[in-house]
């Protein structure tokens, strides 16, 4: 099995090193996995790319934009299975082996993680928390889903599904878009997981990104 750990990064020099070091490479290799760490850099002006390369990651440059960076990363990833996360040390890298095992043993196409199952104190600011609840409510309501966390950035999926789903978003809505597509069209499951306080500066523009995500949900519903 070939696994790509794929992360977008924008000026994450304070956190990207620890994030990469937390990937349990030895444990994954013991289970017969080959691993590639792929960072899609959206034009960082700090040492993000240098730090990632020194830790053995492959770094590719992209135009800025969470969705744009992911779409490039999906094309470049060589793994049969792709695991995603932020490069801010907030997602539990130690859970990758367990999540891959669930994907395989339950013969799933796509897993999204539910951070609310074990949210560390202070990991999500109150307004972000509220925004998440509202966006998840509308995601479920408009698309007939039962997600608990529509904005989680940690997914585990087979690369082959990318031919079967339609991704158009260049920005933050990509996170909800990939879930809506996967849960509507494929064998997908949400698995309880955890979330820690990020290291380094927040990149999310809460009101602007929240509003964009909400508009994206209604537009997608009208068009589909």
Ligand X SMILES: Nc1nc2c(ncn2[C@@H]2O[C@H](COP(=O)(O)OP(=O)(O)OP(=O)(O)O)[C@@H](O)[C@H]2O)c(=O)[nH]1
Using CB under 6 A, list all residues that contact ligand X: 8-10, 12, 42, 64-66, 69, 86-88, 90, 124, 128, 153, 172, 198, 202-204
**65 or 173: whose CB is closer to ligand X?**
65
Instruction: Report what 12 binds from Mg ion, ligand X, none; CB cut-off 5-8 Å by kind.
Output: ligand X
What is the DSSP-derived secondary structure letter of residue 159? Answer: G
**108 or 114: whose CB is closer to ligand X?**
114
Cβ-based neighbours of 59, under 8 Å, separated by 6 or more: 39, 41, 49, 52, 53
Q: Does 12 bind Mg ion (CB under 5 A)?
A: no
Contact with Mg ion (CB under 5 A): which of 11, 12, 41, 86? 86
Question: 97-119 in b/e burial notation, b at 16+ Cβ within 10 A?
Answer: bebbeebeeeebbbbbbbbbeeb
Instruction: Report what 9 binds from Mg ion, ligand X, none; CB cut-off 5-8 Å by kind.
Output: ligand X
Instruction: Report what 202 binds from ligand X, Mg ion, none; CB cut-off 5-8 Å by kind.
Output: ligand X
What is the spatial distance between Cα 203 and Cα 140, in angstroms, rounded to a whole number? 26
**123 or 168: whose CB is closer to Mg ion?**
123
Contact with Mg ion (CB under 5 A): which of 11, 41, 88, 95? 88
What is the spatial distance between Cα 204 and Cα 210, in angstroms, rounded to a whole number? 9
Minimum CB–partner distance for residue 175 and ligand X (Å): 8
Minimum CB–partner distance for residue 187 and ligand X (Å): 26
Residue of closest CB approach to Mg ion: 86
Instruction: Report what 69 binds from Mg ion, ligand X, none; CB cut-off 5-8 Å by kind.
Output: ligand X
Instruction: Please name the residue ranges forming H helices in the chain.
Output: 16-21, 25-30, 48-54, 66-76, 96-105, 126-143, 174-185, 206-223
Cβ-based neighbours of 200, under 8 Å, separated by 6 or more: 11, 12, 13, 14, 15, 88
Instruction: Please name the residue ranges forming H helices in 93-192.
Output: 96-105, 126-143, 174-185
**42 or 92: whose CB is closer to ligand X?**
42
| Positions that interact with Mg ion (CB under 5 A) | 86, 88, 90, 198
């Amino acid at each position: 099995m070939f696994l790509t750990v794929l992360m977008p990064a924008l000026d994450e020099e304070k956190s990207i090193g620890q994030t990469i070091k937390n990937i349990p490479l030895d444990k994954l290799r013991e289970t017969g996995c080959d691993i590639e760490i792929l960072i899609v850099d959206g034009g960082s002006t700090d040492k993000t790319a240098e730090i990632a390369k020194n830790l053995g990651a492959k770094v590719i440059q992209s135009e800025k934009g969470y969705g744009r960076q992911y779409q490039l990363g999906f094309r470049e990833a060589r793994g049969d299975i792709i695991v995603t996360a932020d490069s801010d040390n907030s997602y539990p890298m130690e859970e990758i082996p367990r999540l891959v095992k669930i994907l395989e043993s339950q013969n799933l196409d796509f897993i999204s993680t539910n951070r609310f199952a074990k949210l560390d104190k202070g990991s999500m600011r109150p307004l972000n928390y509220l925004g998440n609840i509202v966006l998840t409510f509308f995601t479920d309501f408009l698309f007939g889903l039962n997600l608990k966390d529509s904005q989680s950035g940690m997914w585990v999926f087979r690369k082959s599904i990318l031919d079967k789903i339609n991704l158009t978003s260049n920005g933050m809505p990509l996170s909800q878009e990939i879930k809506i597509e996967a849960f509507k069209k494929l064998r997908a499951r949400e698995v309880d997981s955890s979330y820690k306080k990020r290291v380094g500066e927040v990149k999310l523009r809460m009101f602007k990104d929240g509003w964009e995500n909400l508009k994206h949900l209604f537009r997608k519903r009208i068009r589909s």
